[in-house]
Structure 1
Amino acid sequence: MSTPRILDDIGAKLAEIAAASPARDIEKNVRALLGSAFAKLDLVTREEFEVQREILAQATRRLAELEARVAALEARLEGRNDQG
């Protein structure tokens, strides 16, 4: 028997044992339990988080622009009031 064939046989046997073992059932139960717990939490995906982060960054930039415009308009208004 060649070495790759032996490794394939060992891998197949280990997979067979793992599939039939109680560890497999425990893994399924733990996954189900964690899935249920995560479903109850208010979690978002990384993609959703990144989209919201970009929206917030755009809103922050826009707010800074608007604040600068308001300050400029207030300064102009003050200048007119001082002249009048």
Structure 2
Amino acid sequence: MFDPKKLEQVAKQIHESMPQPVKELGADVEQKVRQVIQSQLNKLDVVSREEFDVQTQVLLRTRQKLTDMEKKLAEIEEKLAANKGE
């Protein structure tokens, strides 16, 4: 759901800002930080950038289809109005 590279970067920044004795606890700290961040992000009602981009494209295609259908409907209505006038 979220970009693992971004999570990795944030976890690394947090780990690097820790005092040296804490850093020496090993890679387990970084992994735990990553897990906590991922857990908290999953609780938020958000979507990934990839999912957002996909939905944006779907919306654009749907909007284009709606515009096309509105145009066709207007043409049909014009034809019907012209036939009534005859």
Indicate the TM-score class for this superposition, using the shorter chain for normalisation: 0.5 to 0.7
TM-score (norm 1): 0.61
Kindly tell me the number of residue pairs found equivalent between the two proteins.
65
Identify, as 1 or 2, the structure richer in helix. Answer: 1
Q: Which amino acid aligns with 2:68?
A: E
2:60 maps to 57
TM-score (norm 2): 0.60
Q: Which runs of 5+ in 1 are unaligned?
A: 1-16
1:19-58, aligned counterparts within 5 Å? Answer: 19-20=23-24, 31-58=34-61
Q: Identity of counterpart residues, as a percentage?
A: 31
- Structure number with the bigger relative contact order (C-alpha 8 A, sep ≥ 6) is 2
Q: Which runs of 5+ in 2 are unaligned?
A: 1-19
Give the Å deviation of 1:34: 3.3
Task: Measure the CA separation in 1 of the matches of 2:35 and 2:54.
Answer: 29
Task: Measure the CA separation in 2 of the matches of 1:74 and 1:60.
Answer: 21
Which runs of 4 or more aligned residues in structure 1 lie more than 6 Å from their structure 2 counterparts after TM superposition? none
Q: Which amino acid aligns with 1:20?
A: E
Task: Measure the CA separation in 2 of the matches of 1:57 and 1:51.
Answer: 10
Rg larger for:
1
Q: Which amino acid aligns with 1:64?
A: T
| Counterpart selection for 1:72 from 54, 65, 75 | 75
Please, what is the CA RMSD of the aligned residues? 2.5
Task: Measure the CA separation in 2 of the matches of 1:19 and 1:34.
Answer: 18
